[in-house]
């Protein structure tokens, strides 16, 4: 367990030592709530709510909400479609105007073990409809996202979650293309059999910025199949 804790501390120290601008010097927060509801052997429904802040629990940046329907092809492959509505405030240190977004995505998730280490990968295609305040024109973005991660079990209570996600926005005649990278490391705590809490650090590199976010996430799952069997 010690070597994993040392890795997390090293990851955090190296990433935080590269700040340059005012926005990069701020340690922000990224709160996440996620739930999954298994309704049949093949179908589940999941929803996610995220709140981003330029500073810890202050200076609002982004509210993300989504709901997805998932089809379990097998125990290792899941396909998903989703809709989300989001509120974006890009103004740092000021009360900026907001952009409202309707977002759709199509996704495939896969799990695979390499030796004793489990890996999960996620490939997502997104369509983002951005309703910007006048006189700015509204925008439509297509994005491709690829995430590779692992969950390392330490014991029955604690685990370590690591993942890295690369995001590519496709360039059009009206919108610039750009890339983004999100690296995440967290300590997870199994509160109940179906519920876990994750406390970690996320490094977000986007449009020349190197942003640092403290992340707190609560995740749980409910299997409605078992409840139906009891009735």
Closest by CA to 66, choosing from 128, 122, 123, is 128
Instruction: Give every residue of the chain whose pLDDT is below 50, as ranges.
Output: 12, 14-19
**CA 128, 122, 9, 186 torsion-angle sign:** positive
- At 2 the pLDDT is 54
Query: Which tokens is 72 given?
Result: 């379990």
- At 15 the pLDDT is 47
**Helix spans in the chain (H):** 2-16, 22-25, 224-230
- At 1 the pLDDT is 56
pTM for the complete prediction? 0.85
Query: Which tokens is 24 given?
Result: 């990069």
- At 90 the pLDDT is 81
Question: What is the DSSP annotation of 66-114?
Answer: EEEEEEESSSSEEEEEEEEEEEEE--TTS---EEEEEEEEEEEEEEEEE
- At 227 the pLDDT is 63
> Using one digit for the tens of pLDDT, what is the confidence trace for 29-76?
999 999 999 999 999 999 999 999 999 999 999 999 999 999 999 999
Residue ranges of domains in the chain, CATH in brackets: 2-230 (2.40.160)
């Amino acid at each position: 367990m010690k070597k994993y804790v040392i890795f997390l501390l090293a990851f955090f120290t190296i990433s935080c030592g590269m700040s340059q601008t005012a926005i990069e010097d701020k340690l922000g927060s990224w709160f996440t709530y996620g739930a999954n509801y298994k309704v049949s052997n093949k179908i589940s429904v999941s929803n996610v709510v995220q709140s981003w802040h330029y500073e810890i629990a202050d200076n609002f940046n982004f509210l993300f909400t989504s709901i997805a329907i998932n089809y379990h092809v097998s125990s290792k492959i899941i396909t998903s479609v989703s809709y989300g509505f989001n509120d974006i405030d890009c103004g740092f240190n000021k009360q900026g105007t907001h952009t409202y977004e309707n977002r759709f995505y199509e996704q495939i998730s896969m799990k695979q073990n390499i030796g004793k280490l489990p890996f999960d990968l996620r490939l997502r295609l997104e369509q983002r409809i951005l309703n910007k305040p006048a006189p700015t024109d509204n925008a439509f973005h297509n994005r491709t996202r690829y995430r590779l991660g692992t969950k390392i079990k330490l014991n029955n209570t604690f685990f370590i979650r690591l993942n890295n996600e690369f995001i590519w926005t496709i360039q059009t005649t009206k919108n610039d293309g750009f890339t983004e990278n999100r690296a995440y490391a967290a300590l997870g705590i199994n509160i109940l059999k179906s519920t876990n809490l994750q406390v970690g650090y996320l490094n977000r590199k986007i449009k020349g910025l190197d942003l640092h976010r403290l992340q707190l996430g609560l995740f749980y799952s409910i299997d409605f199949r078992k409840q139906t069997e009891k009735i």
